[in-house]
Structure 1
Amino acid sequence: MTSDAVSRVPEPVDEVVREYGPGSAERAALERRVDELVAAAGPLPMVIGGERRFGGGERVAVVQPHHHAARLGEYGNATREDAKAAVAAALAAGPEWRSLGYQDRAAVLLRAAELLAGPWRATVVAATVLGQSLTVRQAELEVCALVDGWRRAVAQGRELLAEQPASAPGEWRRADIRPLAGFVHAVSPAVSTAAAGLLPTLPALLGNTVVWRPAPAQTLAAHHLAELLAAAGLPPGVVNLLTGDGQPSTQVLLAEPALAGVHGPAAELPGLWPALAARPGGPPRVVGAPDGGAFLLAHPGAEPAAVRSALLRGAFEHRGPAAPAIARAHLPRGLWRLIAEELLAEVDALPVGDVTDLTNFLGALPDRAAFDRATALIERAKADPAVELVAGGQYDDAIGWFVRPTVLLCPDPAHELFRHGCPGPVLAVHAYEDWEQALAAAAASPYAPAGVLLARDRGAIASAVEWLRFAADALHVNDRPVAVAPVEGLRAWARTRTVREEFGPPAGHRYAHLG
């Protein structure tokens, strides 16, 4: 039974990032949890209707990307039958989940945020470090972004419910914010734990039930997120977890008549369009979460040390949507000449290796596919006379999927490096002569999840902010991209019904002009 109270949700407060310095309590707790997860290397089952069971397909080992001979566990590839069972569980859970008031659904996410910020923090950070080869710093940022995302989503959901239409005298118009009719299929990427937590739970917050398939490389962290949601009180069947590459199960899910929506990384959704468009009733609602590489644009008057720091940290310390890596940079030629020697020496000196060694600046790519994409780009660049390899370019998959931080210099801002972005720790640099042409080039590049503007001149900042208005979801002025989990797509997971009640209904059918 829901309460008639108009509740006020807690004001979202950003989670404080922990530093994990030598001798700190959080570092000791994390190191213990890393050792425990490595020693456990247990089964990583699906979760369907609250039941934990192995997928019926091929058994696949989950490994550490930086040490791919070391197993973290094993999952079973979800089959067509598993997908059908997950759909049935989601549809069965729908009526009861929808019947709960918003405050009850929101309480589950707020409880999950508190658990993740507290007793579950070390577990999810450790799983992200081991399973996705993110450094401790970046794994911590992912966890904080997820905590913040859940808290912000609850606040934004309350604001959405409070949006009501105006009523004329003698009537009452009210908006009924309803979930979609059916279930939502959520697909989460390999590199971001924050995205993995938000993609299935944002639709659930508004009353939808979900079939969730994380990327295989994200299975370890996804497993612990599913356990965390259960501990937070999420009822069975609201979010159902399928493991595996998705090839058999996706066919079933996309053809299912009850499919109401798809939520996933924007880059992965185009591959689903043929199947979605062929559905008899037309495609369901599709919402793409921002992903891909960010860009950096430096003004000729930018502080050289700030540019160097933003490039080193922004391009090479992270690879995920919660804090997108800078993949392309537009720098004034004079500034490039000034910082190039020191910057490239620092790039070549960045320590790369096992991320459980906290002295390493970055780890391995999350899986073989990501490694192959990055190395293929590097080899094309080496063979391209229009591109100069100025740092890095080495890679090795003997122990882990390692790619050295790489910088490519190209004079043409229309080159594929700037049109399609660079996978892995690869940065493309365009050294420009003219500021306005650089502005136009940055604005004309493919839409990015984030952009960085470095400048000291206020007029240049104001002009660039306007030029780049449609270039990115977020623009960071004089800072690199930071871990922020976007929740702007929350509105897409509801349908609005307007209820209009007339308090004095007409008694006749004749209008005044009829006489």
Structure 2
Amino acid sequence: MNLLNNAIIRTPTPVNEPIYNYAPGTNERTLLKKALERMGKETIDIPVIINGQEYRTGQTGQVVMPHDYKKVMATYHKAGSDEVQAAIDAAVKAHKDWRRLRWEERCAIFLKAADLLASKYRYEINAGSMLSAGKTVFQAEIDAACELIDFLRFNVYFAEKIYATQPDSSPGVWNFVQHRPLEGFVFAVTPFNFTAIAANLPTAPAIMGNTVVWKPASSLVYTPYLFMKILEEAGMPPGVINFVPGSGSAVGEICLNDPNLAGVHFTGSTAVFQKMWKTIGNNIANYKSYPRIVGETGGKDFIFAHSSADASELVTAMVRGAFEYQGQKCSAASRAYIPASLWSEVKPLLLTEIESIKMGPTTDLSNFLSAVIDRNAFETIRDYIAYARESTGGEILIGGGCDDSVGYFIEPTVIIASDPQYKTMVEEIFGPVLTVFVYQDEEFEKTLEICDSSTMYGLTGAIFSRDRLATSFALEKLENAAGNFYINDKPTGAVVGQQPFGGGRASGTNDKAGAMTNLLRWVSPRTVKETFVPPVQYRYPYMD
């Protein structure tokens, strides 16, 4: 480590990574298509990675294309109990040297990884996201490339700000605070729907000097593995992040019961997060320190329209908010409240827009929708649509078709509910299904209260209104209904450094990914006071 570096170093001021448009005739479109063609023909082998070494356990799973599940992109090896314990041991062992490395030298690794993503590996990470996660080119670009690059660059910048935040000193005294990494390892459990989130969960703690055991979702192993290789190329030392695909319960049981557990960084279902929290609570006396628990879980995100809203703006937000990436976003619009006076204008526009949507393989760049992630998701979403078709209180306005003959395709579906407590209005579906409740204009306030109280979640939501008093009233009434609230915009697409992301209630701990507040969770401050000329006797002047 560089003990001679006595410079006060400033990190580069981050700016959000520009989004490529992949329009016909552009160079990026040509390069992406080449990556898609090459990677679509390959079948790679993905190992467990512990302390920089690759392990092949022989217990394997497959990465398939959601739009054509017979095409196998990779075989990945699942970590067993021995590998999980070895990953914990490697993380604990690497902790000493990693935390002693100067913070800017740690940060240099992640800044290099960001630049590698922005240039050398941009098309590979995007193609991997399109083929293995079912993302269209735009959804891949804003996630696997741009948002991940932003997380790395902004988190480095936030780290500098945290280290630079120091207390005042009084005459004869020098005070400072050390922002120490946590004592132990961080367990990162990541989701299938965003490569950026999957990579941010292990790297945010690592930037602050922690070492990590990373369990990726079984349905998103491909791009996390690509990113692990990028981190290695960027100079990340062995053992800092250990990559252990495998069964969530098997990996989690070992990690959550280890006395060295220092923190959990999680994105996934509410039920799994609550179970993890309960396990930690039961084990609390066995840990060396109280683990930090940071989680972002489910959502039942809403669009609420006032009678003054513009119909075309509202419909665009409904279509994009509900159906981009097949509705498989924690923030996706899943319920909408539309006033009766506006519905007669909204309904035909909505039908026209949805009828024009193209759905198919992500390799066809003209498609707006593709397949959902896997069979479990397909069957769960299909069951909700069947419920709407067969029950009273709900009616399918458009869509509802499901086809798993080649890939896991579900049509963009709109359900009209006569009851605001209807099943698809209150339960998380995580698919291309939007349920609409049409309310009477004079019941604006009452319906806001229903919107606020009818689900256990509090992640994202939006108000559409051209009446400032109505907007302000909704902002107040829905204060706790959404951790990310949008005015005249869809409730998706938070940008790192601009809209810190997270929600409360059953949607998580609201520690705001993409903000300094998240990184503060991965340090334990120590206050140091140095007195230059200490007193030499105990008596105070008042005692004379």
TM bucket (normalised to shorter chain) is over 0.9
The answer on 1:63 being equivalent to 2:64 is yes
Q: For residues 118-133 of structure 1, what are the structure 2 equivalents within 5 Å?
A: 118-133=119-134
What residue in structure 1 maps to residue 507 of structure 2?
Answer: none
Establish whether residue 442 from structure 1 lines up as the match of residue 451 from structure 2: yes
Aligned to 2:514: 487
Contact 2:329 2:430 in 1 (8 A): no
Do the aligned partners of residues 374 and 321 (structure 1) sit closer, same or farther apart at CA in structure 2, a change above 3 Å counting? closer
Name the CA distance, whole Å, in 2 between partners of 1:290 and 1:162.
Answer: 32
Report what 2:417 is aligned to. Answer: 410
One-letter code aligned to 2:461: G
Find the aligned partners of 1:45 and 1:212 in 2 and give their Cα distance: 13
Instruction: Decide which of 11, 14, 18 is 1:12's aligned counterpart.
Output: 14
Alpha-carbon separation, structure 2, partners of 1:448 and 1:141: 24
Q: CA deviation at 1:383?
A: 3.0
Find the counterpart in structure 1 of residue 531 from structure 2.
502
Return closer, same or farther for 1:307/1:323 CA change in 2, 3 Å cut-off. Answer: same
- Please name the residue that 2:372 is paired with: 365
Deviations 1:413-438 (A, max 9, x none): 33343333332111111212122223
More moved, 141-150 vs 271-280 = 271-280
- Within a 5 Å distance, the mapping from 1:154-303 to structure 2 comes to 154-265=156-267, 267=270, 268-279=272-283, 280-281=285-286, 284-289=291-296, 291-303=298-310
Specify the SS of the correspondent of 2:262: strand
Q: What's the offset of the Cα at 1:341? A: 2.6
Distance 1:206 1:10, change over 3 A: same
Kept after mapping to 2: 8 A contact 1:447/1:470: no
**Secondary structure of 1:211's aligned partner:** strand
Q: Distance in 2 between matches of 1:173 and 1:386?
A: 65
Range with greater deviation from structure 2 (436-445 or 324-333): 436-445
Q: Deviations over 1:85-126 (max 9, x none)?
A: 111211121111111111111111111111111111100000
Residue in 1 aligned with 2:333? 326
What SS class does the counterpart of residue 217 from structure 1 fall into?
A: coil
Q: Aligned ranges for residues 27-176 of structure 1 at < 5 Å? A: 27-54=29-56, 56=57, 58-142=59-143, 143-176=145-178
- 1:343-374 Cα offsets, whole Å, 9 max, x none, are 12432442222111112211111112222221
> What's the counterpart of residue 381 of structure 1?
388
Whether contact under 8 Å (2:327, 2:431) holds in the other structure is no
Q: Distance in 2 between matches of 1:421 and 1:300?
A: 27
Whole-angstrom distance in 2 between the partners of 1:276 and 1:319: 34
**Alignment CA distance shift 1:415-1:465 (3 Å):** same
TM-score, normalised via structure 1 length: 0.95
Q: Aligned equivalents of 1:414 and 1:154: distance in 2? A: 44
Matched residue, 1:475: 485
Structure 1 contact 202–487 (Cα < 8 Å) conserved: no
Question: CA separation in 2, counterparts of 1:322 and 1:424?
Answer: 8
Counterpart Cα distance in 1 of 2:297 and 2:153: 19
Contact 2:87 2:213 in 1 (8 A): yes
Secondary structure of 1:472's match?
Answer: coil
Shift of 1:322: 7.1
Q: Of residues 335, 343, 356 in structure 2, which corresponds to 1:336?
A: 343
Identify the range of structure 1 (75-84 vs 2-11) with the bigger mean alpha-carbon deviation: 2-11
Residue equivalent to 1:314: 321
Other structure's SS at 2:38 match: helix
* 1:366-399 Cα shifts (integer Å, max 9, x gaps): 1122222212222222233122221212212221
SS in structure 1 of the partner of residue 220 of structure 2:
helix
Counterparts of 1:510 and 1:325, CA distance in 2: 67
SS of residue paired to 1:60? strand
Aligned residues: CA RMSD: 2.0
Change (3 A) 1:215 1:85: same
SS at match of 1:317: helix
Report the more deviating stretch, 347-356 or 96-105.
Answer: 347-356
Amino acid corresponding to residue 287 of structure 1 in structure 2: V
Do the aligned partners of 1:210 and 1:240 also contact (CA within 8 Å) in 2? yes
Q: Which amino acid aligns with 1:380?
A: Y
Judging changes above 3 Å, is the alpha-carbon distance between structure 1 residues 293 and 229 closer, same or farther for their aligned structure 2 residues?
Answer: farther
Q: Is the CA contact (8 Å cut-off) linking 1:446 and 1:471 kept in structure 2?
A: no
The aligned counterpart of 2:501 is none
Per mean C-alpha deviation after superposition, the further-off stretch among 198-207 and 239-248 is 239-248
1:319, distance to aligned residue in structure 2 (A): 5.3
Asked whether the equivalents of residues 180 and 208 of structure 1 are also in contact (C-alpha less than 8 Å), the reply is yes
Secondary structure of the residue aligned to 2:70 is strand
- Residue identity in the other structure for 1:342: L
Tell me how far apart the structure 2 counterparts of residues 4 and 460 of structure 1 sit (CA, whole Å).
Answer: 56
The question of whether the paired residues in 2 share the 8 Å contact of 1:141 and 1:483 is answered with: no
Unpaired segments ≥5 residues, structure 1: none
**Distance in 2 between the 1:499 and 1:415 partners?**
57
- Report the alpha carbon displacement of residue 275 of structure 1 after superposing the two structures with TM: 2.4
- Range with bigger deviation, 412-421 or 72-81: 412-421
Supply the distance in 2 between the matched residues of 1:255 and 1:57 (Cα, whole angstroms): 25
- Seen in structure 2, the aligned counterparts of structure 1 residues 419 and 505 have a Cα distance that, compared at 3 Å, is farther
Q: Is the 8 A contact 2:381 2:429 kept in 1?
A: yes
Distance in 1 between the 2:17 and 2:514 partners? 16
CA contact (8 A) 2:417 2:435 kept: yes
Q: SS at the partner of 1:262?
A: strand
Structure 1 ranges of 4+ moved more than 4 A: 319-323, 511-515
Relative to structure 1, the CA distance from residue 321 to residue 399 in structure 2 (aligned partners, 3 Å threshold; closer, same or farther) is closer
In 2: Cα distance, 1:163 partner to 1:329 partner: 43
Aligned residues of 2:180 and 2:526 also touching (Cα < 8 A): yes
Equivalent pairs: percent with the same residue?
A: 36
- Encode CA deviations 1:138-159: one digit per residue, 9 max, x unaligned: 0111021111121211121111
CA shift, 1:513, in A, is: 5.4
Q: CA deviation at 1:404?
A: 1.2
Against the structure 1 CA distance between its residues 386 and 447, is the aligned structure 2 distance closer, same or farther, given a 3 Å change threshold?
Answer: same
What TM-score, normalized to structure 2?
A: 0.90
